[in-house]
Amino acid sequence: MTRFLLLVLGLTVAGAMPTAAKAAGPRFIPVGAASPMPRAFIELCQAQPGVCTTLAGAPPPAPRRSAAQSDAHDETVGGASFLTPAPAPAQDDRDDAERMRMLKRIDASINAHVRQQSDQSLYGVPELWRPSGSGRNASGDCEDLAIQKRLDLIAAGFAPARLFFAIVYRTDIGLHTVLIARLDAGDVVLDSRSNFIEPWSSTRYAWLVAEYPGKPTRWYMTG
């Protein structure tokens, strides 16, 4: 468990548990104080910058690109550079019903086909963020499945700025990473531990930190 998450957990979990246990709440995850990016996310961007570029919703950087040719800009995270798009609204041509159909299809496929294994058993380290893959012999833990779902949704045409990661906590499972999709009606959770997509406020998690939608280098405390 990284030092920043230990700090966040200590500061947040006591106050977050009652809120997380409510059956209803705000439609969108509340934005609190700024938080460092998870160290494992930074390492992912260092090791696989193309993945981070895709998560950010930007095309792979061209060999030569001027500011006049693109609204995107290069950003360095922990020594890793990847292309991030200029801030843009999360609107698209789909309605929530169509978005939910996409979410259910890809969420169910990844949950059904990926063998869930810990980073320790797969890579011999306590924490490593990598796409799980979705084909034969695909495997990974919670954040790996969340990354793969996000990549597959973006490939299917889901607006990248509507997808972001959040780190939550529950006493029986500890720290846990989920993918959030921002619908017009509110934020919903794609969870490797559940076959149901539900509003964030209906889950029984303590919400700790989340990525700012459309800005993957910015993270914040959720309260």
Q: List the strands of the sheet with 186-190, edge to edge.
A: 34-35, 215-221, 206-212, 163-170, 174-183, 186-190, 198-199
CA distances from 18 to 94, 103, 186, 205 (A): 34, 28, 20, 9
| Residue 116 token pair | 């869930």
pLDDT tens track for 142-192: 999 999 999 999 999 999 999 999 999 999 999 999 999 999 999 999 999
Q: List the one residue out of 142, 219, 128, 129 whose CA is nearest residue 174.
A: 142
pLDDT at residue number 58: 76
Give residue-wise pLDDT tens across range 90-102. 567 899 999 999 9
CB atoms within 10 A of CB 106: 22
**pLDDT at residue 214, as a whole number:** 85
pTM of the model: 0.81
Listed as ranges, residues in the chain with pLDDT below 70 are 1-24, 59-91
Report CA 146 to chain centroid distance, whole Å: 6
User: Which residue reads 């405390």 in tokens?
Assistant: 221
Question: What residue type is 33 in one-letter code?
Answer: A
- Strand duo 206-212 + 115-116: pairing: unpaired
Which pLDDT value is given to residue 2? 52
Q: What sign does the CA torsion over 187, 190, 194, 197 have?
A: positive
Q: Which domains, from first to last, does the chain contain?
A: 3-36+95-221 (3.10.620.30)
Rounded Cα gap, residues 28 and 109, in angstroms = 26
**Structural tokens at position 38:** 């998870």
CA distance 120 to 124: 4
